Amino acid sequence: MSTEIKSPTFPESVVDGTVANWLKREGEKVKQDEVIAEIETDKVVLEVVAPFDGSISKIYKQAGETVVSAELIADFSATTDSSKAVEEKTPVESIKSRANKNKSGPAAKRILSNKEIDAEEVAATGKGGRITKADVIAHLERTESQSVTPENLLVTEQDGRHVERVPMSRLRATIAKRLLEAKQGTAMLTTFNEVDMLPIKNMRAKFGAEFELKHGVKLGFMSFFVAAAVDALRAFPSVNASLDGNDIVYHSYQDIGVAVSSERGLVVPILRNAENLDLAEIEKSIIDYSQKARDGKLEIQDMQGGTFTISNGGVFGSLLSTPILNAPQTAILGMHKIQDRAVVVNGEITIRPMMYLALSYDHRLIDGKEAVGFLVNIKEALELPERLLLGL
Amino acid sequence: MKFDVVVIGGGPAGYVAAIKSAQLGKSVACIEKNTDDNGKQKYGGTCLNVGCIPSKALLDSSQRYYDATKNLNGHGIEIQSVALDLVKMMDRKDKVVNKLTTGILGLFKANNVTPIEGTATLLSNKEILVKGKNGEQSKVLASNVILASGSQPIEIPIARWSTNITDSTGALEFSTVPKRLGVIGAGVIGLELGSVWSRLGSKVIILEALDEFLFMADRQIAKDVHKEFSKQGLDIRLGSKVISAKDDGKNVAVIYQTANGEESLEFDKLIVAVGRKPYTKDLLAEDAGVDLDEKGFITVNNHCETSQQGVYAVGDAVRGPMLAHKGSEEGIVVAERIAGKKAALNYDLIPSVIYTHPEVAWVGKNEAEASQSNGEIKIGVFPFAASGRALTSDESVGFVKIVADKKTDTILGVHAFGPSAAEIVQQGAIAMEFGASAEDLGLTVFSHPTVSEALHEAALAVNNEAIHIPNRKK
């Protein structure tokens, strides 16, 4: 018995993905639910699992090829006569119904059908969004030239020195596109402040062990920043808003993205309704997400939405930076390295663990006064954590 | 009087712009000076009054006469005597013209366009001075002005208009069939009018200064057309430059220069059909702010905007081919742009037609143009001699030719010489407007038997897949 293996159903916002790699070869024995392939979309890596015990009988989409939602990528056959009956679809049927969906001319339809190309992948230049034969030929040329996999990267020599040309991974390409869009599509600028971390350090020293014992997670710095951000966002609703065309969208909730680095790049999972979370819950959520990111198991819904973002360059040792907005959000908070510095407190020079804070914001929506006030609010909450407790 | 849009000129560019503007909710006036003998306004411009329509009426009548005298016999129809009643033929033509020109006034009424009679001059600030036939003057104000003043035949110094030297307008009104008819210029007008009178019995000689016949057409088409028309009795002399034409009131003595020296001919009538020029007489006051180019055309950009804001110009008075359908579409585009819509005209896909018998038509690029602009191209040709429908109608002259891009198969040009060539090429124009490939036409079902099947087979031939002719050896 055999069945079709299809790429996962992508959410609406995801147009297509790339077959990142096949973990199993054709004919290799696989157990049910074992991961056989990974599909990389611009947001996450999705896993494709074996539907039952058996092996891949035919791979249609090689690593590096583009796939759309629920597209046929392989045939899979069972090792034994499985009792699970799987409905078998003839490939001809699915092609026909797909080709009929578009309004393109007959030649374009014929090639799309023969080459098993989804019409939605092709950039149409004809009247009313119609795909012309020239469009399909251009698409074929593009995809054929794009299928450069790590095995056949382009190596050229200049003056006896090697230059390697490798296509960007989908995740990288998306990051590149989004960052550029944020830079070009917003009036972004950054305001700075610094925070004396001594009170929080003292608190962690005093209650850290007890906290871990009770909640099973370490009391980190991040939870304080999230709590301080929640407090400040409440005071400055526009920092928690987003811009949609000419409209300002205010959110009644605070979904805070926490930038987490993973092998494949920086990802930003969201702490949902951060305003309802206590410090222990915040810490637990962050640890869960970090683990998932490391395992490449973050799901798309983990990263969708978000009304504000906290980025921590400090873990890599950065002393000062200007983070880029996560559009359509209108502000992002940058944390940095805690460094002992000589500061003046009550007229005396003293050594304090200091951290620079940066707030990049979209000046179209947020005035300088608000941005500065917001950052001061965070600074004060961190330097006097009692204020958080008292709701001040 | 003040209007949102005032159109100067009631030809196919102007009256269409006026109707479209009115449909888009504007208050519109259209100024036209042409009147009939009773002083009633005559809209329709060159096209309806002295161009496309009357010439087609005569082309059709003369072809019927020609068939009756020459062709019907072959179908087994014996006609004892065929007589030509030229007065009646002309009368029919005039009736067709009148019906269509009156129709425009009806359309104006239905669309609430105000017709204004008189000669219009654009002053500064979009103010228009209108002078009536009897010298009365009035002023019209406009928010937007569309200039559609048209064109007129070119008069050449060596052959001034006289009793027997005439332009295309006069050639539509001969009271008798000239025995010896000379035509200067083997262009669209020369060929059409030459055909009319040749069919009615004139001995026609066409003198063309250029060495190349139909320089704007595909070479393969031009060659076939030349051959066929010569066979029909049109004596087309290329490389023949007229150096003098003298009308003594009875005969016209023409002297022309060829590579072999001077030659002379005598005609009863001489038609000068060397082209047309933009007509802008009295149209623009000095401070109107509208520029003309060195050839006298009103200077416009791609959207028909002149150098003066709010003043547009369309049709024969601006750059581009002098064709009614080009002018009409420009009128539509301008009306839409005035109404704030986005509109543009695809100047690459304006079909051209010569209404001879058989017709000659094309759209897009010819073989030479396509290979120059696109590099590698493919050609598909299908002769009407292999078309069942054409053979049944005794219309097996000519062929359909499709030029396509070698790599993408996109159709770059469709050319036809043969029965209903204009209609066949129009099908190609529609396909091209949608970015069709030759394969697209090949995959389309055509009725059998039709002459349009030649288009289908030519499309198949592009990729060596024709059924009814042998394909090129690969």
Q: What is the pLDDT of residue A118?
A: 83
Residue B305 touches chain A, beta carbons under 8 Å: no
Q: At what angle do helices B52-66 and B86-111 cross, to 10 degrees?
A: 150
Q: Are B332 and B324 in contact (CB under 8 A)?
A: no
pLDDT of residue B38: 85
Closest Cβ opposite residue B434 in set A110, A127, A138: A127
Percentage of the residues of chain A whose pLDDT score is greater than 90: 34
- Tell me: pLDDT of A292 over 90: no
In the predicted structure, residue A86 carries a pLDDT above the cut 60: no
Q: State the pLDDT at residue A87.
A: 38
**Residue B472: its pLDDT value, please?**
79
The amino acid sitting at B293 is D
Between these two residues, A305 and B150, which has the higher pLDDT value?
B150
- The pLDDT assigned to B221 comes to 97
A130: chain B residues, CB-CB within 8 Å: 434-435
8 Å CB contact of A126 and B435: yes
Residue type, A65: E
Q: Which residue has the higher pLDDT, A16 or A182?
A: A182
Lowest mean pLDDT among A140-154, A214-228, A352-366, B210-224: A140-154
CA distance B205 to B193: 12
Percentage of chain B with pLDDT > 90?
95
CB contact under 8 A, B436 and A107: yes
Average pLDDT over residues B371-384: 95
Task: Give me the pLDDT at residue B59, please.
Answer: 97
**A130 CB near a chain B CB, below 8 Å?**
yes
What is the Cα gyration radius of chain A?
A: 26
What residues pair up with A2 in beta bridges, in sequence order?
Answer: A77
Task: Out of B407, B443, B444, name the one closest to residue A137 (CB).
Answer: B407
Nearest chain B CA: its distance from A94 CA (Å) = 22
Taking the CA of residue A294 as centre, how many other CA atoms within 13 Å lie in the half-sphere pointing to its CB? Answer: 6
* CB A300 within 8 Å of CB A39: no
Q: Is A165 on the interface with B (CB under 8 A)?
A: no
Whether pLDDT at A89 is above 50 = no
CA distances from B345 to B6, B320, B411, B438 (A): 21, 12, 19, 24
The burial of B94, by beta-carbon neighbours within 10 Å (0-12 exposed, 13-18 middle, 19 or more buried), is given as middle
A127 to chain B: closest CA residue: B434
**Binding-face residues of B in 205-244 toward A, CB within 8 A:** none
Q: For B344-351, what is the mean pLDDT?
A: 94
For residue A295, what are its two tokens? Answer: 């395992």
Measured distance CA(B157)–CA(B151) in Å, rounded: 18
Contacts of B434 in chain A (CB under 8 A): 105, 126-127, 130, 132
Residues of A in contact with B444 (CB under 8 A): 106
- Which chain B positions have a beta carbon within 8 Å of A108's beta carbon? 437, 440
Residue A19 banded pLDDT, cuts 50, 70, 90: confident
Q: Which residues pair with B122 in a beta bridge?
A: B128, B284
Q: With 60 as the cut, is the pLDDT of residue A305 above it?
A: yes
Instruction: Tell me whether A105 touches chain B (CB under 8 Å).
Output: yes
> Would you call A133 and B410 a contact, using CB atoms and an 8 Å cutoff?
yes
B328: its two tokens: 């009409």
Report how many Cβ contacts below 8 Å link chain A to chain B: 53
Contacts of A105 in chain B (CB under 8 A): 434-437, 440, 443
Q: What is the mean pLDDT of residues B466-470?
A: 95
Please give the Cα distance from B295 to A88 (Å, whole number): 72
CB-closest option in B405, B434, B443 to A110? B443
Name the residue of chain A whose CA is nearest to B440's CA: A107
Q: State chain A's mean pLDDT as an integer.
A: 82
pLDDT at A91: 36
Cβ neighbours of A125 in B, within 8 Å = 435
**pLDDT band for position A81 (50/70/90)?**
very low
In angstroms, the separation between the Cα of residue A132 and the nearest Cα of chain B is 6
**Taking CB atoms and an 8 Å limit, are B409 and A125 in contact across chains?**
no
Q: In terms of Cα–Cα distance, which of B278, B326, B276, B324 is closest to B298?
A: B278
Report the distance separating Cα B428 and Cα B412, nearest Å.
10
Q: Worst-scoring range by mean pLDDT, A284-298, A325-339, B7-21, B208-222?
A: A284-298
Of the candidates B407, B433, B439, which has its C-beta nearest A107's C-beta? B439
Q: Which pLDDT band, with edges at 50, 70 and 90, does A43 fall under? A: low
Task: Tell me the shortest Cα–Cα distance from A131 to chain B, in angstroms.
Answer: 9
- Residue B309 pLDDT: 94
Concerning whether A363 is annotated as a catalytic residue, the answer is: yes
DSSP state of B284: B
Query: How confident is residue A98, by pLDDT bands cut at 50, 70 and 90?
Result: very low
Residue A360 has pLDDT above 90, yes or no: yes
Closest in A107, A125, A130 to B409, CB measured: A107
Distance CA B445, CA B434 (A): 17
Per-residue 3-state assignment (H helix, E strand, C coil) for B136-155: CEEEEEEEEEEECCCEEECC
Mean pLDDT of A357-369: 94
Interface test with B, best of A104, A132, A140 (most B CBs within 10 A): A132
3 state SS for chain A: CEEEEECCCCCCCCCEEEEEEECCCECCEECCCCEEEEEEECCCEEEEECCCCEEEEEECCCCCCEEECCCEEEEEEECCCCCCCCCCCCHHHHHHHHHHHCCCCHHHHHHHHHCCCCHHHCCCCCHHHCCCHHHHHHHHHHHHHHCCCHHHCEEEEECCEEEEECCCCHHHHHHHHHHHHHHHHCCEEEEEEEEECHHHHHHHHHHHHHHHHHHCCCCCCHHHHHHHHHHHHHHCHHHHCEEECCEEECCCCCCEEECEEECCEEECCEECCHHHCCHHHHHHHHHHHHHHHHCCCCCHHHHCCCCEEEEEHHHHCCCCCCCCCCCCECEEEEECCCEEEEEEECCEEEEEEEEEEEEEEECCCCCHHHHHHHHHHHHHHHHCCHHHHHCC
The better pLDDT of the pair A68, B62 is held by B62
Q: Which residue has the higher pLDDT, B333 or A83?
A: B333
**Residue whose entry in the numeric block shows the structure tokens 């709590």:** A227
Q: What whole-number percentage of chain B has pLDDT above 70?
A: 100
Q: Is the ipTM of this complex over 0.85?
A: no
Helix (H) or strand (E) holding B429: helix B421-433
In angstroms, the Cα distances linking A42 to A16, A380, B212 are 8, 38, 60
Please write the tens of the pLDDT for every residue from B302-322.
Answer: 999 999 999 999 999 999 999
A110 in contact with B, Cβ within 8 Å: yes
- Nearest C-alpha neighbor of A1 from the set A78, A54, A60: A78
Q: Which residues of A touch B436 (CB under 8 A)?
A: 105, 107, 132-133
Alpha-carbon span A293 to A352, nearest angstrom? 34
Using a CB-CB distance cutoff of 8 angstroms, which residues of chain A are in contact with residue B346?
none
User: Among B75, B226, B448, B468, which one carries the catalytic annotation?
Assistant: B448
**With contacts defined as CB-CB under 8 Å, which chain A residues touch B433?**
127
Residue in B with minimal Cα distance to A109: B440
Question: If you average pLDDT over residues B422-446, what whole number do you get?
Answer: 96
Q: Which residue of B has its CA nearest to A140?
A: B408
pLDDT at A95: 34
Question: Are the beta carbons of B439 and A127 separated by less than 8 Å?
Answer: no
pLDDT, tens digit, 9 for 90 and up, residues A99-156:
334 578 888 888 888 888 888 888 888 877 888 999 888 888 887 765 555 444 566 6
Task: Write out pLDDT tens, residues A164-176.
Answer: 777 777 777 877 8
Tell whether the model's pLDDT for residue B98 goes beyond 50.
Answer: yes
Question: Where is mean pLDDT largest: A57-61, A384-388, B324-328, B342-346?
Answer: B324-328
Whole-Å CA distances, B59 to A118, B123, B172: 52, 42, 10
At A99 the pLDDT is 35
Q: Nearest CA of chain A to the CA of B441: how many Å?
A: 8
How does DSSP assign B219-246, residue by residue?
HHHHHHHHHHHHHHT-EEETT-EEEEEE
Non-local (6+) Cβ contacts of A255 within 8 A are A270, A271, A272, A273, A274, A305, A306, A307, A308
Any chain A CB within 8 A of the CB of B287? no
| List of chain B residues whose C-beta atoms are within 8 Å of the C-beta of residue A127 | 433-435
Under DSSP, the state recorded for B444 is S
Closest-CA distance of chain B to residue A166, Å: 28
C-alpha distance across the termini of chain B, in Å:
70
For B285, residues 6+ apart whose C-beta sits below 8 A from its C-beta are B121, B122, B123, B124, B129
Instruction: For residues A250-279, give the mean pLDDT.
Output: 86
Residues of A in contact with B443 (CB under 8 A): 105-107, 110
Catalytic residue among A75, A215, A251, A363: A363
Q: Do B409 and A134 touch (CB under 8 A)?
A: yes
What residues pair up with A256 in beta bridges, in sequence order? A271, A308
Is 60 exceeded by the pLDDT of residue A97? Answer: no
Q: Are A255 and A273 in contact (CB under 8 A)?
A: yes
Distance (Å) of CA A138 to CA A107, A109, A125 = 14, 15, 11
> Which of helix, strand or coil describes residue B128?
strand
In the predicted structure, residue A378 carries a pLDDT above the cut 80: yes
Q: What is the pLDDT of residue A302?
A: 84
Do the chains contact at B410 and A138, CB–CB below 8 Å?
A: no
Which pLDDT score, from 0 to 100, does residue B439 have?
96
Any idea which of A11-15, B55-59, B190-194, B271-275 has the lowest mean pLDDT?
A11-15
Distance in angstroms (rounded) separating the CA atoms of residues A113 and A124 = 16
Residue among B407, B433, B440 minimizing CB distance to A107: B440
Is B465 an 8 Å CB contact of chain A? Answer: no
Which residues of chain B make contact with A99, given a CB cutoff of 8 A?
none
DSSP B288: G
Instruction: Work out the minimum CA distance from B410 to partner chain A, whole angstroms.
Output: 6
> Which residue reads 């999705």 in tokens?
A46
Say if residues A317 and A337 touch (Cβ distance below 8 Å).
yes
Q: CB distance B439–A110 less than 8 Å?
A: yes
Does the pLDDT at position A340 exceed 50? yes
Q: What is the pLDDT of residues A315-331, one digit of tens each?
A: 888 999 999 998 889 99
- Nearest CA distance, A17 vs chain B (angstrom): 27
Chain B CB within 8 Å of residue A125 CB: yes
pLDDT of residue B371: 95
Which of A110, A130, A138 is opposite residue B434, by nearest beta carbon? A130
| Residue A162 a catalytic site member | no
Higher pLDDT, B401 or A98: B401
Q: Note whether A137 contacts B: Cβ–Cβ < 8 A.
A: yes
The pLDDT of residue B128 is above 70: yes
Reported as a pLDDT band with limits 50, 70 and 90, residue A245 is confident
Largest Cα separation within chain B, whole Å, is 74
Taking the CA of residue B460 and the nearest CA in chain A, the distance in Å comes to 12
For A54-83, what is the mean pLDDT? 77
Q: Which of B47, B21, B8 is nearest to B334 (CA)?
A: B21
